[in-house]
């Protein structure tokens, strides 16, 4: 089976992890701050807070922004469930904004319509999570303009987009958002096994997320609400979690980050090759907004079903039967039973449903060989021709 995604591990990565195993610190040592600095420097932002997953990063980002009971969080229905669940962890309610039919990202026009309506009903969102699907940035300038008008915070869920750019700046630089979150799960562009990071330019948000990642405990007298009892003293000042990243993970992350440009360049090569080889098929290829340089975490095609005899499901099954590990990112979150029980119905977000009925994610990862890519293309032609 050719998988849809796979990590790329070198001897240098292995050595970096082994070195930590032989060192004094497996957690809470020097590698985590080094990884935070490495990511922050690369994307051009002031602070990084490394945690054990992007899900945790989304949670502490929402909490640091003060999201709580009675608040609303809005996001795209075409995302991993974590982009919405983070709001529920904070006691907020969730709503969705339909996707742009060309980029499949949260649609700024749909957002504006929904904000106008919500304003009248007194239920404006406190946080909007903008998900950079497949690695292509959302139209952040438009979303940011709306944030100023309607006073909401923006979290960029850049789990797919590290190394990608928007208006010539790296995703994560924070020009149009409060906090950006990256994922380092093994299928993503850079991996630490499990892991995530929240980056921000705001020192208060960074300090707040650092507390939340580790039980709400501080050893910094400046952050304490009461004077310390003595040199042994630490103080819990709010309710945090244990979301810490280990030193092993951080060392792997530092080693991987050195190859980030190469990772993204290779994904672009593969994307361009797909574009050439798939040009004449009855499918819609990914559309790139000229303001963006995608991270290309995923390569999603859409079937033009009217031109095909086969159904979406049949094409998908045929590819799997031929050993191609295609996937469908994502099942619209509002149709998940857990969310449907809150009152959403599929037709609430028609563009998301159209996408769901046509999308297929083809293999896309650094180590995908030209021969494997040709096999994928051959299998797809076969699956479409039936």
Ligand X SMILES: *Cc1c(COP(=O)(O)O)cnc(C)c1O
Among 139, 157, 178, 358, binds ligand X (CB under 6 A): 157
In the complex, the smallest distance separating the C-beta of residue 29 from ligand X, rounded to whole angstroms, is 22
Q: Rule CB under 6 A: say whether 134 interacts with ligand X.
A: no
Minimal distance, residue 125 CB to ligand X, in Å: 18
Kindly indicate which of the ranges 153-161, 221-229, 273-281, 366-374 contains the residues binding ligand X, using the contact rule CB under 6 A.
Answer: 153-161
CB-nearer residue toward ligand X: 13 or 194: 194
In sequence order, what DSSP letters do the residues of 32-73 get, joined into one string?
HHHHHHHHHHHHT-SEEEEES-HHHHHHHHHHHTT--TT-EE
**CA atoms lying within 13 Å on the CB side of residue 104:** 29
Touching ligand X, residues 226-265 (CB under 6 A): none
From residue 180 to residue 219, the character string flagging contacts with ligand X as x (rule: CB under 6 A) and all else as - is ---x-x----------x-----------------------
From 13-21, 96-104, 138-146, 152-160, give the range in contact with ligand X by CB under 6 A: 152-160
E strand or H helix that includes residue 299 = strand 299-303
Is the Cβ–Cβ distance between 197 and 172 less than 8 Å?
Answer: no
Q: Is the peptide bond before 105 cis (omega within 30 degrees of 0)?
A: no
**DSSP string for 317-336:** HHHHHTTB--B-----GGGS
Sole binder of ligand X in the list 35, 80, 176, 365 (CB under 6 A):
80
Applying CB under 6 A, which part among 4-12, 51-59, 62-70, 218-226 lies near ligand X?
A: 51-59
Q: How far, in Å, CA of 134 to CA of 187, rounded?
A: 12
Member of 131, 147, 308, 352 binding ligand X (CB under 6 A): 131
Q: Assess 79 for contact with ligand X (CB under 6 A).
A: yes
Residue 53 sits in the site that holds ligand X (CB under 6 A): yes
Interacting span for ligand X (CB under 6 A) from 23-31, 38-46, 48-56, 302-310:
48-56
Interface residue with ligand X among 7, 75, 76, 83 (CB under 6 A) is 83
Q: Minimum Å distance from CB 131 to ligand X? A: 5
Span from 6-14, 52-60, 98-106, 232-240 in contact with ligand X (CB under 6 A)? 52-60
- φ, ψ of residue 284 to 5 degrees: the values are -100, 125
The CA-CA-CA angle for residues 83, 143, 79, to 5°, reads 25
Between CA 129 and CA 76 the distance in angstroms is 8
**Minimum CB distance to ligand X, residue 157 (Å):** 5
- Shortest distance, position 327 Cβ to ligand X, whole Å: 11
Nearer to ligand X, 108 or 195 (CB): 195
Distance CA 172, CA 200 (A): 8
Segment lying near ligand X (by CB under 6 A), choices 18-26, 157-165, 339-347, 350-358 = 157-165
Contacting residues for 190 by C-beta, under 8 A, at least 6 apart: 162, 163, 182, 184, 253, 256, 257, 260, 263
Q: Min. distance of Cβ 132 from ligand X in angstroms?
A: 8
Between helix 54-64 and helix 82-89 the angle, nearest 10°, is 40
* Sheet strand arrangement including 283-284: 283-284, 299-303, 359-362
Minimum CB distance to ligand X smaller for 218 or for 246 = 246
End-to-end CA distance of the chain: 21
Of 318 and 339, CB closest to ligand X: 339
Q: Verify binding: residue 156, ligand X, rule CB under 6 A.
A: no
Residue closer to ligand X, measured from CB, 185 or 384? 185
How near is the Cβ of 101 to ligand X at its closest, in Å?
Answer: 19
Q: Round to whole Å and give the CA distance between 183 and 79.
A: 13
Distances (CA, A) of 293 to 55, 277, 290, 304: 24, 21, 8, 26
What residues have CB less than 8 Å from 42, skipping those under 6 apart?
A: 170, 257, 260
What is the binding site for ligand X (CB under 6 A)?
53-55, 79-80, 82-83, 131, 157, 159-160, 183, 185, 196
């Amino acid at each position: 089976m050719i998988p849809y995604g796979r990590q790329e591990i070198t001897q240098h990565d292995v050595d970096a992890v082994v070195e930590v195993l032989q060192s004094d610190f497996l957690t809470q040592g020097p590698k985590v701050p080094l990884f935070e600095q490495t990511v922050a420097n690369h994307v051009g932002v002031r602070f990084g807070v490394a945690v054990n997953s992007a899900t945790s990063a989304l949670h502490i980002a929402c909490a640091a922004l003060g999201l709580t009971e009675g608040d609303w969080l809005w996001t795209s229905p075409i995302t991993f469930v974590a982009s919405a669940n983070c709001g529920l962890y904070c006691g907020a309610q969730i709503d969705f904004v339909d996707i742009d039919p060309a980029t499949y990202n949260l649609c700024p026009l749909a957002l504006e319509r929904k904000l106008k309506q919500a304003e009248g009903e007194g239920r404006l969102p406190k946080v909007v999570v903008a998900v950079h699907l497949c690695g292509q940035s959302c139209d952040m300038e438009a979303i940011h303009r709306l944030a100023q008008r309607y006073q909401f915070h923006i979290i960029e869920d850049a789990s797919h987009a590290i190394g990608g750019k928007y208006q010539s700046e790296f995703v994560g630089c924070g020009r149009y958002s409060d906090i950006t979150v990256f994922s380092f799960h093994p299928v993503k562009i850079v991996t630490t096994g499990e892991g995530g990071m929240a980056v921000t330019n705001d020192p208060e948000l960074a300090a707040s997320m650092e507390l939340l990642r580790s039980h709400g405990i501080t050893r910094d007298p400046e952050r304490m609400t009461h004077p310390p009892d003595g040199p042994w003293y630490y103080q819990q000042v709010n309710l945090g979690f244990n979301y810490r990243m280990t030193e092993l993970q951080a060392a792997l992350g530092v080693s991987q980050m050195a190859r980030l440009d190469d990772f993204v360049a290779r994904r672009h090569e593969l994307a361009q090759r797909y574009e050439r080889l798939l040009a004449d098929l009855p499918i819609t290829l990914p559309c790139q907004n000229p303001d963006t340089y995608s991270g290309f975490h995923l390569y999603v095609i859409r079937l033009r079903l009217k031109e095909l005899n086969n159904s979406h499901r049949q094409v998908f099954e045929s590819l799997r039967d031929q050993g191609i590990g295609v996937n469908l990112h994502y099942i619209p979150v509002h149709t998940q039973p857990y969310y449907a029980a809150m009152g959403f119905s599929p037709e609430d977000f028609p563009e998301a449903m159209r996408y769901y009925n046509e999308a297929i994610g083809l293999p896309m990862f650094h180590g995908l060989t030209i021969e494997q890519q040709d096999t994928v293309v051959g299998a797809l032609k076969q699956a479409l021709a039936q």
